Chains A and B, each alone.
Chain A
Amino acid sequence: MIEVDRPPREGPDSCREAAPPSFFQRKKKGMKRFIIKRFLLMGVTLLGLTIVVFIVSRVAPGDPARLAAGPDATEEMVQVISKEFGLDQPLVIQYGKYIRGLVQGNFGRSIRTRHEVWDDIKTFLPATIELVLISICLATFLGILFGVLSAVYRDTWIDHILRFFTVTGVAVPMFWLGIMLQLLLAAKFHFLPIGGRLDTIVTPPEAITRFFLIDSLVTGNGKVFFNALAHILLPAVVLSFPALASIARINRAEMLEVLHRDFILNEKAQGISKGLIIRKYALKNALIPTLTMIGLRYGWMLGGTIVVEMVFDWPGIGNYAVAAAVYSDFQPVMAVTVVLGLNFMIANLLVDLGYGYLDPRVRYE
């Protein structure tokens, strides 16, 4: 929908400019510095995040060693675990060790399960990312489509139906929607599976990217691919629903505003086709606030998957974090927070870069 080789035209003013430099030429120099700066800033933010998460997890009531040792453990047994995981040391030293580990890419070990947290993240994060990516694509595609249709056919029945849909989307709680769709499509009509990433009896494809959809395609296993697709459909739809609704709403509002600008009138007068005006001139201008919303929603989805993962037994990072939190198992919770925080920051960076792409007036100095 968007072409890379030509700068977007803003309207009559920008039309007068003669052959402006291409996007990459224009932004290259400033962008490099901008990205480096942002990455440095990310490091600082991450450090702050670890401090907050560390402190919050330690001041929370609960004795992880006691919980890990089991209900009948003697004091001596609790001490054994406490010592093994360094919980008997002062907080500052514990934090120092934690940061040293992080720098080396070591997230520590779960006190309850003894698993290396990094191994767990590698297992569970791809499931979440796969779900979130499919959801965000779904939400973006349908959200923009609905927003445009709603704006173009303003106050007709199309607009009314879509607006009803989007209001509901923002208002309906995800777990409710999830359970209802599950009841209807999985339990009642047996169209789709109830939960999980694959049928119980199906063995997952060889772990290459750990995205089942991609891995199954790469290994040429069609049966697993469709099985995975059937499983991801419901959770992805449910997860995308609130995002889809808010993207559609904001896109509709922006489109309406843009469609009433003078340059659109001018283009209409010049006899440019309606489709072209909408796609190339109106939509592109309306996309900037929409892009902000997509970025926000991506971050929100990463956190919001917990509910969806719970309902659909999606073996992702949300379920993992909840299971750990219930037992005051700090390491996984901290690791998940850091990883999700990082994801969110990267998403924001991409959004900022996207602004420059969509709006030639944005400079990265």
Chain B
Amino acid sequence: MKRVRGSTIWAFAVIILCVIIAAPAHSYEKRDGKKILIFGGRQPAPNIDPSQYYDWSARMLQQSLYDALLKYVGNPPKVVPWLAKSWKKSKDGMVWTFELVRNAKFHNGDPVTAQAVKWSFERTLALKKGPAWMLMEFLDKEGIRAVDDYTIEFRLKRPYAAFEMALPWWYIMNPKVVMANEKDKDFGQGWLKDHDAGSGPFRMKRWEHGVLYEVEAVEDYWRGWENPKHIGGFIYRIIRESSSLKMALEKGELDALEGLNSDDFDLVAKNPKVYVTNDPGWTTFGLKMNCQKGYTKDINIRKAVCYAFDYPSMIKIYNGNAILEDSPFPKGMKGYLPVSNVYRQDMKKAKEYLAKAGYPNGGFELEYVYVQALEEERQIGLVLLDNLSKLNIKLKIVPLVWPNMVARASKVETSPDLMAVFTTPIMDDPDVVASQYHKVSWGKYYGSHFYQNEKVWDLIDKARFTVDWPERQKLYEQIQVQIMEDAPELFGMLFNRRWAFRSHVKGFVFSPVRFTGEIDMYPLYIDD
């Protein structure tokens, strides 16, 4: 047994040694004298090519590495000039001309010119991926013209009032760098998915897929830095378990994080070295009802469900960090109007509508589909189950993984009676929300209602192509009232967006038009 004892002692010695080494006292990390911010997020970003893909994690990195003509800043979001210093549109809304700043440089030193802008737009349109859908209908290759090195002109196929609102998500890439890495005529897609060809405030440093992404600040960023104490870079660390995220923040391994649930955010906020932001977001939560199949085909049943639901319970589920929707459009968005025909719990009315539908005593079952493991959605389902039981309507609560939900939502026949859905509008323009109730959204996950009202569709089309804002606004008022009236969805709530920061991180600016976990890293700085 001698050998055994020897190796045991050896093993213990090693353990103790590494315990001693691996217990550093954390504040923020420093590298070459620069303060590095460490951000914890649950979602990887395997593809950051601005023409190919976007979601919150990819876009957070894209926004750091790239610039666009314009940029969304603040709450309510304002579109501010960025690579474009000024712009004008023709009266009919067809021709848009942008004057570029002269000092913008890509990370390799090349100037950002109108030719690069033209090429970047052409690339995204040609690939037909990622953000292409925003402008495909209005813009083609022939419509983009570099007037001179620093002037770019877009000639739209039809007027589009929200054109400028889409531009902050069309990042400008360096054509020379991308094309130098082209393979098999792929427009550099294989390369750019995890490389950088931008002019943004940060440049790529270390990319470890599935582990972390590190960028460093471009010290001579063409636009300069607002604060001399700006972060010297940041590391996006992927941590998939929310309990690990929480621990890492409390321990000081992280400076910032996203993606905890309400309880955990409230818990970490009690730590004196941590603060938690809490801002009303634009992500709407609703239960889409299938308007073309089953019991919910009948508008009276849909209204009965809307009147039966106990709305404030949703706010409780989010520990008070949410507000109720009082319009199909999120509060604060351009064109939003609190409508008067909003539904709140009224069991008498619910029974009336049930009787109108021919089921005065209920006696049927509805299906409620939600994303597996999303605890809040499950709890909301339980509230609805309780509410509907008073009408003698049963509720079958079905958790599904996301691909299966998308698959079921894609066809009328399979789309469930009620589907719990979050949607985040991508730009500050009512068209993106309104079009969720247009036929064009059928087949997409947020179109699982298969709502049909030609009058509303016409209004949505008309509003999209109207250039004059007061005129558009009136159209959107009608649209909001009519959608609410038709109840294709039980309009739920808007939950607050939250991030937790260690107290030395400062400068966070919230903007509701950014995605759920996404932070604009440019204004952040570290100050003890």
Residues of A participating in the B interface, judged by any CB pair closer than 8 Å: 1, 60-64, 66-67, 69-77, 80-81, 110, 112-115, 120, 123-124, 141, 145, 179, 182-183, 186-187, 190-197, 199-201, 203-204, 223, 226-227, 229-231, 233, 275, 279, 310-313, 315, 319-320, 323, 326-328
Contact = CB atoms under 8 A, between A and B. Distances in A.
A315 B211 contact: yes
Contacts of A279: 1
Contacts of A183: 243, 247
Contacts, number: 161
A187 B22 CA distance: 13
A120 B209 contact: yes
Contacts of A201: 29, 31, 36, 38, 235
B403 A62 contact: yes
Given A61-B403, A182-B247, 18 more contacts: A62-B404, A67-B402, A67-B403, A75-B443, A77-B129, A77-B132, A114-B193, A115-B46, A124-B210, A179-B241, A182-B243, A191-B22, A200-B253, A229-B18, A233-B15, A233-B18, A315-B210, A328-B403
A44 B23 CA distance: 50
Contacts of A223: 21
B240 A313 contact: yes
Contacts of B208: 204, 315
A77 B54 CA distance: 14
Interface residues of B, number: 68
A113 B46 contact: yes
Given A190-B23, A195-B239, A229-B18, A66 B406 contact: yes
A194 B244 contact: yes
B22 A192 contact: yes
12 contacts: A1-B3, A67-B402, A71-B446, A113-B47, A114-B46, A182-B247, A183-B247, A195-B244, A226-B18, A311-B241, A312-B244, A319-B210
Contact of B4 (A110, A145, A197): A145
A72 B426 contact: yes
Contacts of A192: 19, 22-23
Contacts of B401: 326
B250 interface: yes
Nearest to B54: A70
Given A315-B208, A328-B403, A114 B189 contact: yes
A215 to B, nearest CB: 14
A284 to B, nearest CB: 16
Contacts of A186: 247, 251
A207 B410 CA distance: 44
Contacts of B302: none
B81 interface: no
A2 B330 CA distance: 72
A22 B410 CA distance: 68
Interface string B235-274: 1011111011001101101000000000000000000000
Nearest to B238: A313
B368 interface: no
Contact of A227 (B19, B22, B55, B209): B22
B445 interface: yes
A71 B44 CA distance: 18
B19 to A, nearest CB: 5
Contacts of B445: 71
The residue among A75, A115, A197 with the most chain B CB atoms within 10 A of its own CB is A115
List the 10 closest pairs (A to B, CB-CB), nearest first.
Answer: A62-B403, A230-B22, A113-B46, A328-B403, A187-B247, A61-B407, A230-B18, A315-B210, A315-B211, A80-B128
